[in-house]
Amino acid sequence: MKILVIGPSWVGDMMMSQSLYRTVISRHPDAEIDVMAPAWCRPLLNRMPEVKHALSMPLGHGALALMERRRLGITLKNQGYTQALVLPNSFKSALVPFFAGIIKRTGWRGEMRYGLLNDLRVLDKTAFPLMVQRYVALAYDRADIHNAGDLPQPLLWPRLQVAQDESLNAADHFGLRTGRPTIGFCPGAEFGPAKRWPHYHYAALAEASIARGYQIILFGSANDRAAGEDICAMLSPSAREHCRNLAGQTTLEQAVVLIASCEAIVSNDSGLMHIAAALERPLVALYGPSSPDFTPPLSRQAKVIRLISGYQRIRKGDDRQGYHQSLIDIQPDLVLAELERLLSIGKDS
């Protein structure tokens, strides 16, 4: 049994897709799973033991590129795939398996994919309220799974593998082995400040954590570096010595390895939050207008803090409105209390 997965293009979605791969292997131990996804996903896929090959999707997220997808599909015709699992809901994501002539092509209906997918599932969002449930359901025959309650419990949550020596080598590379245990902050998020806990709250939490003997490492992309600098700038001079802004300074591979070495993580709703959950790090996840009801951190060591209910859509450009009031209202003392609780549980276990 050889399966081609057309994977997601977002960090969080890619992490949640590992539950599908784990489920397939649990049901069919001899199955081979190849995942086609953007090249930046490779550091994540390489740490999923269920994935045999990570295949690069050379086309951009928004590009139809019909002839390029046809050529790509033709190159896969003789690879022996017996099934394709198409995770994105777009029309274009179903083209490569169709052109590859894979016999069974499975996915949710999405954007008018009749014919492209011949094992087409019609989604009842109330029957599968979580994204991870929708992914895992594709591992089963559609006649057997009608709602999330039909899925075997517990679900196999994402679990990335990182060796201890990798974390030590990465810490040495960045000069982080100071004798102080590390707490990681992930202060970035898509769409700018609207989904971010305010930098001044992060700074207050950093100051308190450093006073308790920790060092703080700030993770994120180059787009998050300015947010990290804002946090550092608000620290007292003595505390600033124990806070490093690595946003934009690490590869995704290095960030994964370093997060694995942290005593705990504090994060906005972001891709790095899902990575921390998959690494089973004690995690405080901060939500505002986005909701954990669809894509929560999949870890029993995660604590979600959210002071409002319901979902409020955030679009590009909403960052001009600044921080969302629901995130401003989450006070550092509350986060510190949850962080200390998680850390104490880790010491006792």
pLDDT of residue 317: 47
146, 149, 157, 294, 321 from 126: Cα distances, Å: 11, 11, 21, 11, 32
Name the pLDDT band for 216 (thresholds 50, 70, 90). Answer: very high
Class of domain 164-348: alpha beta
Out of 10-24, 115-129, 283-297, 303-317, least confident range: 303-317
Out of 165-179, 184-198, 268-282, least confident range: 184-198
pLDDT of residue 321: 55
Q: Where are the domains of the chain?
A: 2-150, 164-348
Q: Sign of torsion, CA 257 261 267 273? A: positive
Residue 315 has pLDDT above 60, yes or no: no
Rounded CA gap, 343 and 4, in Å? 40
* E strand spans, 258-335: 264-268, 283-286, 302-305
Name the pLDDT band for 291 (thresholds 50, 70, 90). Answer: confident
The H or E element spanning position 11 is: helix 11-27
Out of 145-159, 248-262, 297-311, 314-328, least confident range: 314-328
Hey, how many other C-beta atoms are within 10 angstroms of the C-beta on 198?
A: 20
Domains 2-150 and 164-348 equal at CATH topology level = yes
Residue 249 has pLDDT above 80, yes or no: yes
Q: Which amino acid is at 305?
A: I
Residue 304 has pLDDT above 60, yes or no: yes
For 21, the token pair is: 């791969």
- Which residue, chain included where needed, has tokens 């995942």? 35
pLDDT averaged over every residue in the chain: 93
Q: Tell me whether the omega of the peptide bond preceding residue 154 falls within 30 degrees of 0, making it cis.
A: yes
Class of domain 2-150: alpha beta
Bridge partners of 86, per DSSP, are: 6, 107
Residue 111 has pLDDT above 90, yes or no: no
pLDDT digits (tens, 9 = 90+) for 167-191: 999 999 999 988 999 999 999 987 6
Residue 252 has pLDDT above 60, yes or no: yes
Residue 36 has pLDDT above 50, yes or no: yes
* Residue predicted with more confidence, 347 or 84: 84
pLDDT digits (tens, 9 = 90+) for 4-33: 999 999 999 999 999 999 999 999 999 999
Name the pLDDT band for 279 (thresholds 50, 70, 90). Answer: very high
